[in-house]
Amino acid sequence: MLRRALLAASASHRVRGIVTAAPYTRDVVTRFVAGDTADDAIGVTRRLLAEGLLVSLDHLGEHTADPGQAAAVAEEYVRLLGRLSADGLASGGRAEVSVKLTAVGLGLRDHGEKTAAQNVARICAAAADAGTTVTLDMEDQAGVEPALRVLAELRPDFPDLGCVIQSYLRRSADDCAGLAVAGSRVRLCKGAYRAPDEVAFTRHSEVDRSYARCLRILLGGDGYPMLATHDPRLIKIAGIRADAVGRAPGSFEYQMLYGVRPAEQRRLASGGARMRVYVPYGSDWYGYLVRRLAERPANLAFFLRSLVSTG
C-alpha cells in the first residue's frame, strides 16, 4: 500500500512542490545523488574508480516534453563522455552511462521513438569514441516494447548497447532468453515502477523467484549479465550459479545504487568481482528519490520529517 502511494506521489506535481521545498529533503538527496553538476558526478566517479569499483552515470531527468530539451539531454551526455574520456575515466568501460528513453524524447507527441533513437545513437557514438558503453534504463511497462525496439535498431551499429530487464514483469524470463546471446549486455533488476497484475508479479516472493529464474537464464547464456540488486540472497544465488556454469569473474558484473550497501559493494569488489555503482547526478532528482524511498521503509523517516517540517 505504502509503496503504491509513494509511487503515485512520484507522479504528482503538487507533492513534488512540497517535497522539493522541504528543508530536510536535501539530506536524503545527497545520500543517493552525486550532486547537481557534471563536476560533482566526475568527482564521485574518480573516487569510486580509485576504490576498485566501476561506475554507470545517470543524468537525472525523465518525461521530456520538448524536442529541444531532449536534444539538450543528449548533448549533456556527449559532453560528459568527452570529459570522462579526457580525464582517463572511461576507457575499458570503467565509467559508462545509463540513459532513460523518456529523457531523450520517447514521450514526445510527434516521432518520439525516432527522436529518442537518434539521440541515443549520438550518445552511443560519443561513448564508442570514449571507449565505453551505454545502457538503456527501463521505465514503466509502456516503455518496454519501445526500448527493446530501439535496442534492436541500434545494436547493429553499437553492439555493446545494453538494456535493463525488470523481473517484476511476467514477460521478463522470455525477454532474457531472447537477449542471452553473444555480445548482448543485460542489466537485471527487480523493477521500481507500478504495473497492473496482468503484466506484473505483485508479491515480493514472486518478483524474487522471477529474478532468480532470469539470472539463471542470463548466466547460462552467451551475453554479459549485469546483476543489479542489493538483495543478499540473490547475490549469493548469482555467485553459486556463476560458479556452476563456469563463468569467469570478468564475464559478468554486480551492480548497486550509489548510497546503498556501500560496504557490500567494496566487499564484492575486493573479492575479485566486477562491481558497478549506478551514480545519478543533476537537479531533477525528485522521481528518482521517491522510487528509492518506496523500496525501503527505513528511508521514510527522513521523508516524513521533511513533509512535517513544511507545515
- The residues annotated as belonging to the active site are 137, 187
Residue 189 beta carbon to ligand FDA: minimum distance, rounded to whole angstroms = 4
Residue 246 beta carbon to ligand FDA: minimum distance, rounded to whole angstroms = 25
What is the rounded CA–CA span in Å between residue 19 and residue 215? Answer: 36
210 binds ligand FDA (CB under 6 A): no
What is the rounded CA–CA span in Å between residue 114 and residue 109? Answer: 11
Give Cβ neighbours of residue 287 (< 8 Å, ≥ 6 apart).
10, 11, 62
- Using the rule CB under 6 A, give the single segment among 42-50, 151-159, 212-220, 227-235 that binds ligand FDA: 227-235
What is the rounded CA–CA span in Å between residue 292 and residue 285? Answer: 11
Shorter beta-carbon distance to ligand FDA: residue 100 or 115: 100
Polymer length of the chain: 311
Which one among 85, 115, 141, 166 touches ligand FDA, defined by CB under 6 A? 166
Of residues 282-301, those binding ligand FDA (CB under 6 A): 295-296
User: Which grid coordinates belong to 52?
Assistant: 576498485
Would you give the end-to-end CA distance of the chain in angstroms? 24
Residue 35 beta carbon to ligand FDA: minimum distance, rounded to whole angstroms = 18
Question: What Rg do the C-alpha atoms of the chain give, in angstroms?
Answer: 18
Which one among 75, 76, 231, 284 touches ligand FDA, defined by CB under 6 A? 231
190 binds ligand FDA (CB under 6 A): yes
Indicate if the alpha-carbon torsion angle 42, 44, 48, 54 is positive or negative.
Answer: negative
Q: Strand pairing partners for 256? A: 277
Which one among 62, 96, 113, 137 touches ligand FDA, defined by CB under 6 A? 137
- Using the rule CB under 6 A, give the single segment among 32-40, 45-53, 60-68, 183-191 that binds ligand FDA: 183-191
Residue 91 beta carbon to ligand FDA: minimum distance, rounded to whole angstroms = 21
Give Cβ neighbours of residue 277 (< 8 Å, ≥ 6 apart).
48, 53, 54, 55, 56, 255, 256, 257, 258, 265
Count Cα neighbours of 139 within 13 Å in the Cβ-side half-sphere: 20
Residue 235 beta carbon to ligand FDA: minimum distance, rounded to whole angstroms = 9
Shorter beta-carbon distance to ligand FDA: residue 7 or 242: 7
Of residues 235-264, those binding ligand FDA (CB under 6 A): 255-257, 260-261
Which residues are at the interface with ligand FDA (CB under 6 A)?
A: 137-138, 164, 166, 187, 189-193, 228-232, 255-257, 260-261, 278, 295-296
